[in-house]
Amino acid sequence: MRQKIIFISALITLTVSCNNIQNQIATAKSLNDSVLVLTRNYQDTSQYENALILIQKAIKLDTNYLETYSKKLFFEENLGQFDDAIVTLSQLIRLRRDSAELYLKQGIYQEIQGDTINAKNSFNRSLPRYTILLDTLNKSHPERRNLLNMLAINIIMLGQEKMLHELLKENYRTSFDSVLMSTNVLGKTKKELLEPLRQKYNR
């Protein structure tokens, strides 16, 4: 009888705990939704600071809700808050460790901040993830061009000119193929790629 009572008590505790978690997720989602209303679907940039306040409240309610960190990163990027953006990227990577894009973006922001050692580490982490992702796509896949451009940026950031040459040789056999690669990427140095961001945010 005693064991049955203990089991029922544990079951009730587990049920209440699950309900609390669900309520936290629901509340975090509602705060995320309110951010869209506040900023009029991101159109009202004057509300970005206030939106971040709501985002911080949502994070306190649920530290594993991916959408919250995605919104937080968006506002920090647009406000030029790179120190905070790097921290937010770390949280996003914690939730999406397979994301090449997140590692690459983290490396770019670290470069802008002058943290070249950690930037190189981030670029080295994004590189194999882009390679693996590309290996899963056939050459006619609509996302392949964009991924090749991102991989090219990654390689340039690492200063691996030989690797970039091999990438072009392997993927662009004709002059028509080469047109598919963004002219905003090829032929530019790391400094040239980073300069627009430095100018935009006075770094």
* Residue spans per domain, the chain: 1-79, 97-203
Alpha helices in the chain (DSSP H): 2-38, 48-61, 66-79, 82-95, 100-112, 116-135, 144-157, 161-171, 175-179, 190-200
pLDDT at 7: 37
pLDDT in tens, the chain (203 residues): 544 444 344 333 434 344 444 445 558 899 999 999 999 999 999 999 999 999 999 999 999 999 999 999 999 999 989 899 999 999 999 999 999 999 999 999 999 999 999 999 999 999 999 999 988 988 888 888 889 889 989 999 999 877 877 777 677 654 444 444 565 677 788 888 899 888 877 66
In this prediction, residue 149 carries a pLDDT of 87
Number of Cβ atoms within 10 Å of the Cβ of 120: 16
Phi, psi at residue 171, to the nearest 5°?
-105, -15
pTM of the model as a whole: 0.79
Q: What pLDDT does 24 receive?
A: 53
What does the alpha-carbon distance between residue 143 and residue 92 come to, in Å, rounded to a whole number? 22
178 near 172, Cβ under 8 Å?
Answer: yes
Residue 182 phi, psi (nearest 5): -60, 130
